[in-house]
Amino acid sequence: MMPKAIRFVRSLLATILIGISTAFHVLPLLVVALAKAVVRIAPVRRWCDYLLMRLAESWIGLNSWMIDHLTDTRIVVEGMPEAGMEGNYLVISNHQSWVDIPVLQKLFNRRLPLLRFFLKSQLIWVPLLGLAWWALDFPFMKRYSKATLAKRPELAGRDIDATRRACRKFADIPVSVMNFVEGTRFTPAKHAAQDSPYRHLLKPRAGGVAFVLDAMGDTIDTLVDVTISYCGPAPGLPDLFANKVREIRVSVRTLPLSAAPKGGDYTSDADYRERFQQWINDLWREKDATMARLRTHACPSPSRDARPGSS
């Protein structure tokens, strides 16, 4: 078992390196993003898009290097798509921890187009990171509670309009739109409160996926379905660099989107909404079975001589 002092030093070193890397990459990101916003010449904007992607890949690459070299975490992956695949992608995943995000970025960096996450609007105020997400055209969404919508019905549909506006930005660049379909991180308490029919998952929320497919039309034709399973309870991000995460198992399926219902209005067409929800529920039943299979593997011993990285 690693002494607490060493874990603390590792976490502190990782925090410092992440801070330095973030500052190093965010400043040029902002310069390029501002140039893209000001200059309306198409070749210049395309060059700005290219620079933004290379900066983001470098940033993710350094964070991934730290996972490989500052932890003994083993990431076991099945079904990884080939590198350099062209086109646009819808990437969906279950959601258990903030560790999900660096794991997804590590797996798909330079393999798929940059993952764009739908973020809560409040996250734009996160120091440095909020500006970086803005520079990279991450969509910021403002969600309204049922109580708020009851008092102000004119706000209904604004999240749909925001999704469509965000997706229009992706018309001219390769993109992987990332959606955590459960809408929140899994916890036993949330699972019980929902009375979820799935053993290892929360109920999926189909609306976000439907709005993305509606907004982007036929420009997205491939679904990347990711299932992430941790050995033991879902870790926090500090646990990763404290070397407490022994193993992460990931299953990836690449599927055509031809099976997804299309051509309807999810908001107003009840029949289409039911068919779309059934399609998502079918995917979620398969994902629940995948989670059960991934969890049958025994956790590796903390004393083993772990090899970092993915296999």
pLDDT reading at 145 higher than 70: no
pLDDT reading at 311 higher than 60: no
**Which is more confident, 232 or 163?**
232
The backbone torsions φ and ψ at residue 250, rounded to the nearest 5 degrees and listed phi first, read -130, 130
Q: Number of structural domains, the chain?
A: 1
Q: Is residue 35 part of a domain?
A: no
What is the pLDDT confidence band of residue 278, given thresholds at 50, 70 and 90? very high
The backbone torsions φ and ψ at residue 263, rounded to the nearest 5 degrees and listed phi first, read 90, 0
Q: Is residue 239 part of a domain?
A: yes
DSSP H/E element including 58:
helix 42-70
pLDDT of residue 136: 86
Do 80 and 109 form a contact (C-beta atoms < 8 A)?
A: no
Domain coverage including residue 127: 73-298
Q: Is residue 156 part of a domain?
A: yes
Q: Is residue 52 part of a domain?
A: no
Maximal CA-CA distance, the chain: 59
The backbone torsions φ and ψ at residue 68, rounded to the nearest 5 degrees and listed phi first, read -70, -35
Across 243-271, average pLDDT: 90
pLDDT of residue 250: 97
pLDDT of residue 100: 96
What is the pLDDT confidence band of residue 152, given thresholds at 50, 70 and 90? confident
Question: How far is residue 21's CA from residue 34's CA, in Å, rounded to a whole number?
Answer: 20
User: What's the pTM value of the predicted model, to 2 decimals?
Assistant: 0.86
pLDDT of residue 89: 92
Question: How far is residue 122's CA from residue 106's CA, in Å, rounded to a whole number?
Answer: 25
Q: Is residue 39 part of a domain?
A: no
CATH no. for residue 273? Answer: 3.40.1130
Question: How far is residue 219's CA from residue 262's CA, in Å, rounded to a whole number?
Answer: 13
Least confident of 202-216, 229-243, 293-307: 293-307
Q: Is residue 212 part of a domain?
A: yes
Question: How far is residue 134's CA from residue 121's CA, in Å, rounded to a whole number?
Answer: 11
What is the pLDDT confidence band of residue 303, given thresholds at 50, 70 and 90? very low
The one-letter code for the residue type at 160 is I
DSSP H/E element including 48:
helix 42-70
Per-residue CA distances from 10 to 5, 58, 88 (Å): 9, 22, 37
Question: How far is residue 2's CA from residue 4's CA, in Å, rounded to a whole number?
Answer: 6
Q: Is residue 137 part of a domain?
A: yes
Q: What is the rounded average pLDDT for all residues in the chain?
A: 85
Do 190 and 184 form a contact (C-beta atoms < 8 A)?
A: yes
